[in-house]
Amino acid sequence: MFFAKSIIVLAAFATTVLGHAQVLPPMGINGTPKRSDTQRPSNAKPCGNIALSKIDSSKTIAMNGNTFNADATNFNKAKDGSMQFTATFDATGTGKGFKAATITKNGDPAPKAVGQTSQLSVSLPAGTKCTGGKNKDLCLVSFKSASGFGNCVVVKQAGAGAASTKATGKSKATRSRHPRNFAPSEEKRVYAKRAIEWIWAPTA
């Protein structure tokens, strides 16, 4: 019995020390991420134990069209700290509709040291509209490493509001380049003065 309990304890300990890697900045984490902040994403809980309500208070990654880049970091070396991920995303930000995303540039599958970083490049399907968060412009992206660890990040999509502001600013700038000058020219003032002098000039 004691031997069986020891095996269970050792197995539980192994899951807490092996396979830690995450993508930055992790949703719901303030300050520098720690090993203990790493999650175990699953189909039932794509963001692990992080509350989905933290979407608006989390740091975001700006999207460029339907793509974005993010950095991954590891807390273990070799395959246990693999920074090779798969990704899914939820355009609603509610955690109820995750779909496959494409990682076009993946991380190191077996880093040689702890604390390494790898840049990831991720592409969401064409036409994706992020509607999560209070401003309706956020998507949730869940990353899961080859070792089963990871986390969610929040990505921000440029909305129609920003485009409208740019268009308005451009229109105003165009009008200001051609100001209308209603002030009389110097030549007209001289002509008017001479005309008045001629009218009031004494006759011979």
| Per-residue model confidence as pLDDT tens for the chain (204 residues) | 444 444 443 444 444 445 699 999 999 999 999 999 999 999 999 999 999 999 999 999 999 999 999 999 999 999 999 999 999 999 999 998 999 999 999 999 999 999 999 999 999 999 999 999 999 999 999 999 998 999 999 999 987 334 433 443 454 444 545 555 545 556 656 556 665 565 555 555
Would you call the peptide bond into 184 cis, given omega within 30 degrees of 0 as the criterion? Answer: no
Q: Around Cβ 129, how many Cβ atoms within 10 Å?
A: 13
Q: Give CA–CA dist 111/21, Å, rounded.
A: 11
Domain locations in the chain as residue ranges: 50-158
Q: pTM score, two decimals?
A: 0.71
Q: Give CA–CA dist 184/175, Å, rounded.
A: 22
Q: Give CA–CA dist 65/127, Å, rounded.
A: 9
Q: Give CA–CA dist 20/147, Å, rounded.
A: 8
In this prediction, residue 15 carries a pLDDT of 41
Coil/strand/helix, residue 192:
helix
- For 78, list phi and psi in degrees, rounded to 5: 60, -155
Q: Give CA–CA dist 89/95, Å, rounded.
A: 9
Question: In sequence order, which ranges of the chain are alpha helices (DSSP H)?
Answer: 2-17, 160-176, 186-199
Torsion of CA 18, 8, 152, 55, to 10 degrees: -140
Domain 50-158, second-level architecture:
Sandwich (2.60)
